[in-house]
Chains A and B, each alone.
Chain A
Amino acid sequence: MSEFDPRDPAQVEAFWRRHAPQVLRWVIRLGGPHIDAEDVAQDVLVTALRKMNSFRGESAIRTWLYGVTRRVVANARRRAAFRRFVGLGDIPEPPDLRDLSDTEVERLRKRRGVQRALERLKFGQREVLVLVDLEGRSAPEAAGMLDIPVGTVYSRLHNARKQMAVALKAEGITAPPRLVAIEGGKA
Chain B
Amino acid sequence: MSTDNPISKEVLDLCTDVTEPSEAEIGRTVAFRPSARRVWPRAAVALMAAAAVVLLWFVSVVQPEPVSQIVGLGPSIEVSGPGNVVALQVDAAGAEVEVTDGLARFEVDPNGVARNLRVRAGDVTVVVTGTLFTVEVSEAEVAVAVVRGSVDIHADGRVLAIVAGESWRSGEPVVTAPESGVRDVELVPVAVPDAPTKPEAPMPAGSETDVSAVFARLLVRVDDRSDETIEADLLAFIVEYPESPLAVEARTLHIQHLSIADPAGAVSAIDGLLEAEPETPRRVSLLRMRATLARDRLQDCGLALGSYRILDALGDVEAAAWRGICAHSLGFDEEAEDALQRAESLGVSEPLLTRVRQLRNR
Name which of A25, A85, A104, A123 has the most chain B CB atoms within 10 A of its CB: A85
How far apart are the CA atoms of A114 and B15 in the complex, in Å?
Answer: 6
A38 touches B25 (CB 8 A): yes
Q: How far is the CB of B285 from chain A (nearest CB, A)?
A: 5
User: Given contacts A78-B223, A161-B7, is CB(A86)–CB(B57) below 8 Å?
Assistant: yes
Contact with A along B296-313 (1 / 0, CB 8 A): 110100000000000000
User: Given contacts A17-B30, A50-B42, A161-B6, is CB(A88)–CB(B11) below 8 Å?
Assistant: no
Contact with B along A92-135 (1 / 0, CB 8 A): 00010000000010011111101110011011000000001111
Q: Which residues of B contact A75 (CB under 8 A)?
A: 223
User: Given contacts A81-B256, A133-B12, A170-B299, is CB(A25)–CB(B19) below 8 Å?
Assistant: yes
A79 touches B223 (CB 8 A): yes
Q: Which residues of A contact B351 (CB under 8 A)?
A: 109, 112
User: Given contacts A24-B29, A85-B285, A173-B15, is CB(A139)–CB(B22) below 8 Å?
Assistant: no
Q: Does B205 contact A (CB under 8 A)?
A: no
Interface residues in A, total, Cβ within 8 A: 65
**Interface-facing stretch out of B32-40, B85-93, B152-160, B340-348:** B32-40
Q: Does A145 contact B (CB under 8 A)?
A: no
Residues in B13-53 with C-beta less than 8 Å from chain A? 14-22, 24-26, 28-30, 32-34, 38-39, 42, 49, 53
How far apart are the CA atoms of A29 and B12 in the complex, in Å?
Answer: 13
A21 touches B53 (CB 8 A): no
A173 touches B14 (CB 8 A): yes
Interface residues on B, range: 35 or more
User: Given contacts A85-B256, A87-B60, A133-B7, is CB(A175)–CB(B14) below 8 Å?
Assistant: yes
User: Given contacts A82-B256, A83-B53, is CB(A42)–CB(B15) below 8 Å?
Assistant: no
Q: Which residues of A contact B21 (CB under 8 A)?
A: 21, 24-25, 28, 37
Residue in contact with A20 in the complex, picked from B5, B19, B29, B257, CB distance below 8 Å: B29
Q: Which residues of B contact A12 (CB under 8 A)?
A: 33-34
Q: How far is the CB of B26 from chain A (nearest CB, A)?
A: 5
B60 touches A88 (CB 8 A): yes
How far apart are the CA atoms of A127 and B34 in the complex, in Å?
Answer: 28
Q: Does A52 contact B (CB under 8 A)?
A: no
Q: How far is the CB of A112 from chain B (nearest CB, A)?
A: 7
Q: Does A68 contact B (CB under 8 A)?
A: no
- 10 A-B pairs with the lowest CB-CB distances in the bound complex, closest first: A175-B10, A165-B6, A111-B18, A110-B18, A24-B21, A20-B29, A86-B57, A134-B16, A20-B30, A85-B285
Since A20-B26, A109-B351, A111-B18 are in contact, a sample of 15 more A-B pairs with Cβ atoms closer than 8 Å, ordered by chain A residue number, is A16-B32, A20-B30, A21-B21, A37-B21, A41-B29, A45-B29, A46-B38, A83-B53, A85-B253, A86-B53, A116-B296, A119-B296, A133-B2, A158-B4, A165-B7
